[in-house]
Amino acid sequence: MRNLLRALAWGAGILGVILGVLYAAVFDTWVVPGDEAMLRVALEPNIRPGDRILVKRGGTPRYHELVRCDDPEAPGRFVVGRLVGVGRDKVEINNERVIVNGKRNPSPRGCGTQVLTHPTTGQEAKLTCAVEDSGASEYNILVHPEHAESPRTASVEEGRAYLIGDNRHFHLDSRDFGTVAADSCHHIVFRLWGESYGESSRRFNFIW
């Protein structure tokens, strides 16, 4: 029995060292802040304020991964969005759909509707949820079914990244603050739990 307990203690110690090394060198944990009213709605529908998430340090995020980057307008804070464009890419936003270098991701199916309120104007909107397929993964986005606007385009400079929010209608992304430093962006990988640990739908799941 004593040998078994000793072996378990050694195993737990080794596991703790491995997890500590991974945390220090590979991953970071981050609680999504809730003190920015616009950010709260812009993060919908895939993450919410209070979510504790794992962020992969280092490496180069791939297209359409959800990333956390340094806020270009507020040192010490972060912005969140899909990485849709890097150096020399041409990004076009047309009626809340994203076209990169002439290519648009398909939306094979819908995922219901969601009513959100703009925190500044008080404007309420019934948004359509659509599943967007990047080829590597599928994720949900929100668009306004009747929204129409003139297309806007951007040519991304070297060393910069263009972010687009999953809430395409009430947004806080590169349409608002421009491009960000590409080397400041890290992939959001996994949600440990939401604001409430008891909310099972927001606990221990990958964030695509």
Q: Do residues 99 and 11 share a domain?
A: no
Give the tens place of pLDDT for each residue, 194-204. Answer: 988 888 889 99
Find the radius of gyration of the CA atoms of the chain. Answer: 19
Residue 111 phi/psi, 5-degree rounding, is -145, 35
Give the tens place of pLDDT for each residue, 119-141. Answer: 999 999 999 999 999 998 999 99
Q: Do residues 76 and 10 share a domain?
A: no
Return the pLDDT at 60.
86
Q: Do residues 2 and 79 share a domain?
A: no
Question: The domain that contains 129 carries what CATH number?
Answer: 2.10.109.10
The pTM score is 0.87
Domain that holds residue 53: 32-206
Q: Do residues 201 and 118 share a domain?
A: yes
Give the tens place of pLDDT for each residue, 53-78. Answer: 999 988 889 999 999 999 999 888 99
Return the pLDDT at 21.
43
Please report which confidence band the pLDDT of residue 19 belongs to, taking 50, 70 and 90 as the band edges.
Answer: very low
Which residues share a beta bridge with 205? 191
C-alpha span between 71 and 69 (Å, rounded) = 6
- Total number of domains constituting the chain: 2
C-alpha span between 151 and 90 (Å, rounded) = 13
Q: Do residues 17 and 71 share a domain?
A: no
E-strand ranges in 12-70 read: 27-31, 52-56, 66-70
